[in-house]
Structure 1
Amino acid sequence: MKKTLMTIGIICMFANNIFASEELLNNGGFTEVVNDSETMFGVGIGVGVSNSLYKGVDDKGYPIPLLDIDYGNFYVKGLDIGYDLFQNDVLAFSIFMNPLTGFKVKGSDLETGYKDIDDRELQAMFGVHMGIDTKFENIKATISVSGGEHGSRGQLALFKPYSPTDNFILIPSAHINYYSADYTDYYFGVDSKETFKYRPSNVKLRNSYSPDAGYSLGLNLTGEYRLRDDIALMAFLGIEKFSDEISDSPLVENDVIYLMGVGAKYYF
């Protein structure tokens, strides 16, 4: 059960790792194929492509480290480093940290009139993760809550894995992300000292903006194909829609992010 729930939870980590760079590379990992061994090592590399929420920031590709390590109760999955606390046939609990979470952007990358804002940086976040086998139509669920220097976030996700063949797994999923007011304020708020009054080059920032807590809704499709026991290929497609608290920010141009990625991993 531990490996099954970890597989379903990790299948979306690739999306979160892409999203971590806008969350992004960033809420994430490719698939871990079920393996009953308590010790497993997988390493690889992927690339993700996404548009940006922020005004004037071009679409970019991001390298994605694909780490898939189990050693006893310790694990590294994508950018998550964690420790399994408990697992049975229905539930699995773990604690984790992700050193690179958030919507990183440099003020200089924004369009003219916004370039003199303070840079928004990635942050380390620490949290708890729970995997649930609903026992209904092979649907799995994951719940995670984490916090860091610039606020907190949570996620509820539902997954349904399909295995058309022994070496191919396909997992559609849906999720909702919650972002605290501190989190949205840091990444999407505008401090009064960033406005035109104090920074004349920010001619398009006439007023400050302090958003409330927000959320996003997402759909993902992730797949892994095992070429052989020690080599796997992965691919991912996703879409994320953000709430008005985020999209109403004067720094934000798009309320929808489209993302995709491919990669390969070697197990030993």
Structure 2
Amino acid sequence: MRNTLSRLSPLACAALMLASQAAHAQQTDAAETGAQESRWGLGAAVGTERSPYAGYGNKTRALPLLMYNGQYFRFVGTTADFKLGAAGPVAFTLRAKYADDGYDGSDAPILNGMEKRKGGFWLGASALWRNPLADLSLEWLADASGNSHGQTLKLQAEHRFKAGNFTLAPYLGVNWMSSDYVDYYFGVRQNEVTAQRAFYQGSSTANLVGGLRTDYRMTPSQSIFLDLRMTRYGSGITDSPLVDRSTSSSVRAGYLYRF
């Protein structure tokens, strides 16, 4: 198994994919209080995730974390939201996100000779419905960079339990990816075919995602968080000759100081 530490380029530091998920609890706290004053947060996060690509091993990142939450605008990690307001218990936002989903041909033996696949900026919208049973979120995004021309749709349910300074939030969701997305990141083009790598045109698929987020408030301004996640890939991904597993796990942890 090969364990890689991603390059800390300015773009990668801006991305902070791992931090955007781990800091979700911080966004929820701000929304629950209904506070209108602006809040800033600064910290650091580290995460490791098992890549689905054969022979790739783990992707590990250690990056700074910057967060801002105001009355109309919020950003954390790779995600920026413009708040459109609420209709009853449902809150709506316009969303912009950077996703570092690409790879280089040198990242794993199975990818040797493959053309570089790039990450990209995504634009879309989200909705969050709070209710006593579970918070339901829906996110739709389209590739604004024009790399994959893909779309994604994510539906997730989460229930939060509080015990003193601890918060536990188990969650379960479905992540749908369009055929363009899957074909770009998991497909094999005619000019990339080898004896060990057959032609493959990706089809739309849905991944099951489940996990547990925890947050501990050390002081009113300081908190640490942990996110344990498991993903089960759909057949559009597992059928790819680039992939050798049907599930993937990830662990993310970090510290945040809120001003």
Q: Is TM-score (shorter-chain normalized) higher than 0.5?
A: yes
1:67–1:79: 8 Å Cα contact kept in structure 2? no
Q: Corresponding residue for 1:159?
A: 158
1:204 maps to amino acid: Q
> Does 2:128 align with 1:131?
yes
- SS of 1:28's equivalent? helix
1:156–1:175: 8 Å Cα contact kept in structure 2? yes
Q: Corresponding residue for 1:75?
A: 74
- SS of 1:184's equivalent? helix
> Does 2:205 align with 1:214?
yes
Give the paired residue count: 236
Question: Could you tell me how far 1:29 is from its partner in structure 2?
Answer: 3.4
Q: Corresponding residue for 2:231?
A: 240
- SS of 1:186's equivalent? helix
Question: Could you tell me how far 1:193 is from its partner in structure 2?
Answer: 1.1
1:106–1:120: 8 Å Cα contact kept in structure 2? yes
- Structure 1 runs not aligned, ≥5 long: 1-16, 197-202
Q: Corresponding residue for 1:183?
A: 181
Q: Corresponding residue for 1:9?
A: none
Question: Could you tell me how far 1:77 is from its partner in structure 2?
Answer: 2.1
Q: Corresponding residue for 1:195?
A: 193
1:12-161 to structure 2, matched below 5 A, reads 25=18, 28-30=21-23, 31-32=25-26, 33-34=29-30, 35-38=33-36, 39-99=38-98, 101-111=99-109, 114-133=111-130, 135-137=131-133, 139-148=134-143, 149=146, 150=148, 151-161=150-160
Deviation string 1:136-160 (CA, Å, 9 cap, x unpaired) is 43x1100000000210101000010
Q: Corresponding residue for 1:204?
A: 196
- SS of 2:106's equivalent? helix
Distance in 1 (alpha carbons) for counterparts of 2:86 and 2:153: 21
CA separation of 1:258/1:57 partners in 2, compared to 1, >3 Å: closer, same or farther?
same
* Aligned-residue CA RMSD (Å): 2.1
Question: Could you tell me how far 1:89 is from its partner in structure 2?
Answer: 4.2
2:125 maps to amino acid: V
Distance in 1 (alpha carbons) for counterparts of 2:83 and 2:116: 35
Distance in 1 (alpha carbons) for counterparts of 2:246 and 2:43: 31
Question: Could you tell me how far 1:224 is from its partner in structure 2?
Answer: 0.8
